Amino acid sequence: MVRAASLVAAVLGGGNLTDAFERLMAAHPAWSDASRGAVRDLAWSTLRDYGRGDVVLDRLLRSPPPTVIHALLLVALRRLRQRPEQAHTVVDQAVQAAAVSMPALKNMVNGVLRNALRQQAQWAQWTQADEEAHHGFPAWWIARVRATAGEGWAAVLASGNERPPMAVRANARRSTPEKVLAELEAAGIAGRRLDHDAILLEHPVAVARLPGFAEGRVSVQDAGAQWAARLLAPQAGERVLDACAAPGGKTAHLLESADIELLALELDPGRAQGIERNLARLGLRAQIKVADCRQLSRWWDGRPFNRILADVPCSASGVVRRHPDIKWLRRETDIVQFAAQQAQILDALWQTLAPGGTMLYVTCSVFDEENAGQIARFCARHADAERLAPCGHPDLKLLPNAEHDGFYYALLRKQA
């Protein structure tokens, strides 16, 4: 509980959850996989519960507590929901943690949690009466999803609060979906093949358990993300650009699909090294450059690309269940900023696309301003942009569900 609370406190202080988790793991290399998983699960599930802990605390606290105590109380309330039969132990652990971090507030923590337990029958009522607590998202986020997702808006929000599914991809250069499924079955891991050859696991497992992972026969990649290579459909001998490449899953999938000349761009040097490691495990090669894809003079040699993957920075609202800190840290004004950055990227990359070439625009967002609205504005600016119809539709909108995360795809051809 103490370690999970430290991660939640980092997010409440404005920090990135994944970075905080990696620092914590680096500081405790001897922890078992079970211990790492338990800390991760409690921190992630606490942050998915946006508003739900606070709607209880608002009725029990006279004033907002310090961040470290706020985080501790949120984690304790989450654990009390998960393990009501362990109420005495949970309260005792929280009090002990407060005694270490802020001794003067340990009695307050004890009183708040015991008072919360006495009123636990009312938690559901308090949550239902508060829109943010009921859906587990900020009000502005709820409004945007309601406007975008139509009748299914509530299901989209509900999916964002669940544990994400796990899917894998067969490396076409070293295996096949059939062989991967057979290896999974032999290892006692149930899975099924989806229409676009992604393999959805019945239950997530540790990567170390995946047969063939270390040997590069299989990779972990969300089923929704696996549409990218299929839609862009590179052909042998073509020059391809992956403009925002880290962590490299789509880069690798493109290289597995055809013998192409691929340039992968990444702004962050550390994340660029991650691409190199992923490709090395899979036995793949690409040219990798650290550069801002908008600054053409820094990386482009003037030779046009046949195909471009523009997997642009976005709100990540379609993958929030994997990164629950997003709903705590993101602000509605950020969406406008992301949209402006996306427009700059599209306009810059369009200059590098050969006539007759195709560009696949991708986000992991469910917000229209970053998706269909962005593409409509781009086409209005560029008369030579022709919208193609992936899967028979003007675009492919994947809302998060039990099979995949949320993604948006739009395929554009540059008229000759």
pLDDT above 90 for 263:
yes
pLDDT digits (tens, 9 = 90+) for 328-349: 999 999 999 999 999 999 999 9
Where along the chain do its domains lie?
A: 2-130, 167-171+175-220, 227-414
pLDDT at 33: 87
pLDDT at 416: 84
Domain 167-171+175-220 has CATH 3.90.480.10: no
pLDDT digits (tens, 9 = 90+) for 96-155: 999 999 999 999 999 999 999 999 999 999 999 999 999 999 999 999 999 988 899 999
pLDDT above 90 for 394:
no
Q: How far is CA 345 from CA 93, 251, 338, in A?
A: 49, 18, 11
Tokens 């899975």 belong to 191
pLDDT confidence band for 393 (50 / 70 / 90): confident
Q: Are 291 and 345 in contact (CB under 8 A)?
A: no
Average pLDDT, the chain: 96
366 phi/psi in degrees, rounded to 5: -110, 5
pLDDT above 90 for 356:
yes
> Is residue 364 annotated as part of the catalytic site, yes or no?
yes
Q: Are 294 and 344 in contact (CB under 8 A)?
A: yes
DSSP 210: S
d(CA 412, CA 388): 6
Q: Are 159 and 224 in contact (CB under 8 A)?
A: no
Which of the following is catalytic: 244, 293, 314, 364? 364
Specify burial of residue 173 (Cβ count, 10 A radius: 0-12, 13-18, 19+).
Answer: middle
d(CA 203, CA 197): 18
Please state which CATH class domain 227-414 belongs to.
alpha beta
d(CA 149, CA 160): 13
Beta-strand pair 261-266/239-242? parallel
pLDDT at 1: 87
Q: How far is CA 32 from CA 36, 42, 168, 209, 410, in A?
A: 6, 16, 24, 15, 43
d(CA 263, CA 243): 8
d(CA 24, CA 15): 13
pTM above 0.85, yes or no: yes
d(CA 69, CA 6): 10
pLDDT at 153: 96
The CB density around residue 177, as the number of other CB atoms within 10 Å, is 18
For domain 2-130, give the CATH number. 1.10.940.10
Cis amide leading into 247 (omega within 30):
yes
User: What is the average pLDDT across 58-66?
Assistant: 93
User: What is the average pLDDT across 263-279?
Assistant: 95
